[in-house]
Amino acid sequence: MAVALKRSDLLFYRVDPYEIHYLKFILEAYEGLATLTTLNSKTGLIQLAVPPGRKDSLESLLEALGRELGLERIAAP
């Protein structure tokens, strides 16, 4: 019997480029919440891979950090 695997959701954000490392460290502290990939370090374009069932938790965290980090959710580039 084949088991259907659920894929991670991909979310895209712009963040103050100087805050990318800070956000990455925060996400690492919340083990398994999301994986951050920097797509463009000059413009602050990042991708977050979110495992199934973790999107609500991630969005709550990002909402709390949004103003501090200058986060802006964008459509897939």
> What is the residue range of 62's domain?
9-74
- pLDDT beneath 50: ranges in the chain: none
- Give the model's pLDDT for residue 39: 98
Structural domain includes residue 3:
no
Q: Is 13 helix (H, G, I), strand (E, B) or coil?
A: strand
Structural domain includes residue 1:
no
The total number of structural domains in the chain stands at: 1
Assessment of whether the complete model's pTM goes beyond 0.85: yes
> What is the number of other CB atoms lying within 10 angstroms of the CB of residue 20?
17
CATH for 47: 3.30.70
- Give the model's pLDDT for residue 77: 83
43-62 confidence digits (pLDDT tens): 999 999 999 999 999 999 99
Q: Are 58 and 9 in contact (CB under 8 A)?
A: no
Structural domain includes residue 14:
yes
